[in-house]
Chain A
Amino acid sequence: MINGSGIAAQITELVLAVLLAPLLTGWVNQCRAWLQNKSGPGLLRPYQTIRKLFAKDAVIATNASPLFRTAPYIVFACMLVATAIVPTLGTDLPFSIAADAIALVGILALARVFISLAAMDIGTAFGSLGARREMMVGFLAEPALLMVLFTASLISQSTSLATTVERLSRMEFAIFPSLAFAGVAFTMVSLAENARIPVDNPATHLELTMIHEAMVLEYSARHLALIEWAASLKLFVYSCIGIAIFFPFGIAEGGDPVGLLYALPTLALKLAIGGFLLAVIETMSAKMRIFRAPEFLGTAFMLAVLALLIHALLET
Chain B
Amino acid sequence: MLTPALSGQIINLFAAIMLLLAFAMLAQRRVLSLINLFAMQGLVLTLSTGFVAHTTGQTHLWFSAGITLALKVLLLPWILHRLIRQLNVQWDVEGLINIPTTMLIGIVLVILSFNVALPISQVAGTITKGTLGIALASVLLAFLMMITRSKAVPQVVGFLAMENGLFFAATAATYGMPMVVELGIALDVLVGVVILGVFFFQIRERFDSLDIRHLEKLKEE
Contact between B100 and A309, CB atoms less than 8 A apart: no
Known contacts A302-B107, A312-B114, A313-B133; is-contact A295 B12 (Cβ 8 Å)? no
Contact between B13 and A177, CB atoms less than 8 A apart: yes
Interface residues of B in 15-49 (CB under 8 A from A): 15-17, 19-20, 23, 27
Asked whether B130 is an interface residue with its Cβ less than 8 Å from the other chain, the reply is yes
In the bound complex, how far is the Cα of B95 from the Cα of A269, in angstroms?
44
**Chain A binding surface, main DSSP class:** helix
Cβ–Cβ < 8 Å partners of B107 in chain A: 302, 305-306, 309
Closest to B98 in A: A295
Contact between A175 and B9, CB atoms less than 8 A apart: yes
Using an 8 Å CB-CB cutoff, how does the interface string of A285-301 with B read, 1 for contact, 0 for none? 00000000011001100
Cβ–Cβ < 8 Å partners of B99 in chain A: 295, 298
Task: Give the shortest distance, in Å, between B135 (CB) and chain A (any CB).
Answer: 11
Which of these, B15, B100, B110, contacts A314 with CB under 8 Å? B15
Asked whether B196 is an interface residue with its Cβ less than 8 Å from the other chain, the reply is no
Contact between A309 and B110, CB atoms less than 8 A apart: yes
Cβ–Cβ < 8 Å partners of B104 in chain A: 302
Interface size class of B (residues with CB under 8 A): 20 to 34
Task: Give the shortest distance, in Å, between B18 (CB) and chain A (any CB).
Answer: 10
In the bound complex, how far is the Cα of B114 from the Cα of A309, in angstroms?
8
Known contacts A299-B103, A313-B134; is-contact A181 B16 (Cβ 8 Å)? yes
Which of these, B103, B111, B133, B134, contacts A302 with CB under 8 Å? B103
Cβ–Cβ < 8 Å partners of A294 in chain B: 100
Asked whether B106 is an interface residue with its Cβ less than 8 Å from the other chain, the reply is yes
In the bound complex, how far is the Cα of B99 from the Cα of A174, in angstroms?
34
In the bound complex, how far is the Cα of B162 from the Cα of A48, in angstroms?
58
Task: Give the shortest distance, in Å, between A79 (CB) and chain B (any CB).
Answer: 30
Asked whether A117 is an interface residue with its Cβ less than 8 Å from the other chain, the reply is no
Cβ–Cβ < 8 Å partners of A177 in chain B: 12-13, 15-17
Contact between A306 and B19, CB atoms less than 8 A apart: yes
Cβ–Cβ < 8 Å partners of B23 in chain A: 302, 306
Asked whether B180 is an interface residue with its Cβ less than 8 Å from the other chain, the reply is no
Asked whether A310 is an interface residue with its Cβ less than 8 Å from the other chain, the reply is yes
Task: Give the shortest distance, in Å, between A296 (CB) and chain B (any CB).
Answer: 10
Which of these, B10, B16, B118, contacts A180 with CB under 8 Å? B16
Closest to B110 in A: A309
Cβ–Cβ < 8 Å partners of B118 in chain A: 313
Asked whether B123 is an interface residue with its Cβ less than 8 Å from the other chain, the reply is no
Tally of contact residues, A, Cβ under 8 A: 20
Cβ–Cβ < 8 Å partners of A299 in chain B: 27, 103
In the bound complex, how far is the Cα of B15 from the Cα of A177, in angstroms?
9
Which of these, A175, A295, A305, A306, contacts B6 with CB under 8 Å? A175
Cβ–Cβ < 8 Å partners of B13 in chain A: 175, 177, 180
Closest to B117 in A: A313
In the bound complex, how far is the Cα of B20 from the Cα of A314, in angstroms?
15
In the bound complex, how far is the Cα of B97 from the Cα of A151, in angstroms?
30
Interface residues of B in 88-144 (CB under 8 A from A): 99-100, 103-104, 106-107, 110-111, 114, 117-118, 130-131, 133-134
Using an 8 Å CB-CB cutoff, how does the interface string of A122-159 with B read, 1 for contact, 0 for none? 00000000000000000000000000000000000000
Task: Give the shortest distance, in Å, between A267 (CB) and chain B (any CB).
Answer: 28
Contact between A314 and B106, CB atoms less than 8 A apart: no
Cβ–Cβ < 8 Å partners of A295 in chain B: 99-100
Closest to B130 in A: A314
In the bound complex, how far is the Cα of B23 from the Cα of A175, in angstroms?
21
28 CB-based A-B contacts, threshold 8 Å = A174-B9, A175-B6, A175-B9, A175-B12, A175-B13, A177-B12, A177-B13, A177-B15, A178-B16, A180-B16, A294-B100, A295-B100, A298-B99, A298-B100, A298-B103, A302-B103, A302-B104, A302-B106, A303-B20, A306-B20, A306-B23, A310-B19, A313-B114, A313-B133, A314-B12, A314-B16, A314-B131, A315-B12
* Chain A interfacial positions (CB closer than 8 Å to B): 174-175, 177-178, 180-181, 294-295, 298-299, 302-303, 305-306, 309-310, 312-315
Sort A-B residue pairs by CB-CB distance and give the 6 closest, nearest first.
A177-B16, A298-B100, A175-B9, A314-B12, A302-B103, A314-B130
Given contact pairs A178-B16, A180-B13, A299-B27, enumerate 11 new A-B contacts (beta carbons under 8 Å): A174-B6, A175-B10, A180-B16, A302-B107, A306-B20, A306-B23, A309-B111, A309-B114, A310-B19, A314-B12, A314-B131
